[in-house]
């Protein structure tokens, strides 16, 4: 089975924020930590004075668990 690396999400600390500044989407998905970190920095520089900021969440890509007796994953 092909092993994938982790996925990095840039998310807002503000509850229920689904948009970004200047057309930048939040949450945003990245394959490398460096790109996610750069994007988070850009968003934090453009946020308003009362915005709580952004953070990076790591999502580990792992294969689904094997279900015994079904022959499926």
The tokens describing 26, both together, are 């939040």
Instruction: Provide the whole-model pTM.
Output: 0.68
Please report the pLDDT score of residue 22 as a whole number.
58
Please report the pLDDT score of residue 37 as a whole number.
94
Residue of 69, 5, 11, 13 lying closest to 40 (CA atoms): 11
CB atoms within 10 A of CB 39: 20
Taking CB atoms within 8 Å and a gap of at least 24, the contacts of 18-23 are 21/46, 21/47, 22/46
For the segment 22-71, what is each residue's pLDDT rounded down to a tens digit? 566 788 899 999 999 999 988 888 877 788 888 899 988 755 555 555 55
The tokens describing 46, both together, are 């453009």
């Amino acid at each position: 089975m092909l092993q994938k690396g982790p996925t990095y999400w840039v998310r807002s600390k503000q509850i229920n924020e689904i948009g970004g500044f200047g057309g930048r989407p939040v949450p945003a998905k990245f394959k490398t930590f460096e790109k996610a970190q750069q994007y988070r920095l850009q968003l934090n520089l453009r946020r308003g004075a009362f915005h709580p900021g952004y953070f990076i969440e790591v999502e580990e890509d792992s294969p689904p668990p094997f279900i015994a007796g079904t022959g499926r994953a």
